[in-house]
Amino acid sequence: MSFKNKVIWITGASSGIGEALAYALAKEGAILILSSRKVAVLEQVQQSCLKDCKEVYVQALDLEQHDKIPAIVQKVVKERGHIDILVNNGGISQRSLTQDTIFEVDKRLMDINYLGTIALSKALLPTFLKQQQGYFVTVTSLTGVFGTPYRSAYAATKHALHGFFDSLRAELREDNIDVTLICPGFIKTQVSINAFVGNGEAQGSMDNRQNNGMQVDVFTKKMLRAMRKRKKEVYIGKKEVVMIYIKRYMPWLYHKIIARVRVR
């Protein structure tokens, strides 16, 4: 599948995976819509993308403000005429033990990572159905398949995304609308710096595992390869990906390893 002239909406496009994906798709000649809360940063990303493609638009979007999302979608669809691909990449992570995590953090993570993504996808779904074509690409995590220490709330949001989009894919099998779940492992981005700790503040530091993770440009190439093939679910990372298969085929071993594994 070629991305040239495809209208692609990316959330969480101001940094990390979303930013790197925007640059890669700009080189492919896509028409981009970049969203996050940080408009000034998005405008910098926009200018960098415009070196390689002709059309890049900025649309402010806060995934936590669910009630505003339908109107934003209507505005974007009216302005662009149609959307070919929605990349659900926006979200935030967590670094805290369950016993140290206040309930408000669990709720905020669910509001942003899960409910915000669902609100946006459901608001765009009627457009995809009317077009009789569309493509949802949702960035989850390996923790959407297995939980780890220090990620209880985060893993819950990613598991929820898997449940929703697996169901949506099955419902849309005859409507020419595809769903891909992209599951990163440790990717070298700012995700751990911005992650919530138990009291809801940002951690403010880079995890060792994150710092030694896959380079984001390498990840992006693998993600685009999966999107071209419209894969249903892909796992991208280094040796941490093996835990998927250990849990699937040797669950007894998975449970021994996961309780001791260093995830920070």
Residue 264 pLDDT exceeds 80: no
Q: What is the pLDDT of residue 190?
A: 87
Q: What tokens were used for 181? A: 């779940």
- What is the side-by-side strand order in the sheet with 233-236? 56-60, 31-36, 7-11, 85-88, 134-139, 177-184, 233-236
Give the whole-angstrom CA distance, residue 223 versus residue 17.
10
CA angle 146, 89, 106 (to 5 degrees): 55
Residues annotated as part of the active site: 154
Residue 180 scores a pLDDT above 80: yes
What is 7-258's CATH topology? Answer: Rossmann fold (3.40.50)
Q: Give which of 48, 61, 54 is closest to 21, Cα–Cα.
A: 48
Q: What are the residue boundaries of the structural domains of the chain, listed by start?
A: 7-258
Looking at residue 151, its pLDDT comes to 96
Q: What's the CA gap between 128 and 82, in Å, rounded?
A: 8
User: pLDDT for 101-150, tens place per residue?
Assistant: 999 999 999 999 999 999 999 999 999 999 999 999 999 999 999 999 99
pLDDT at 235 over 80: yes
Q: Which pLDDT score is estimated for 209? A: 84
Instruction: Give the pTM.
Output: 0.96
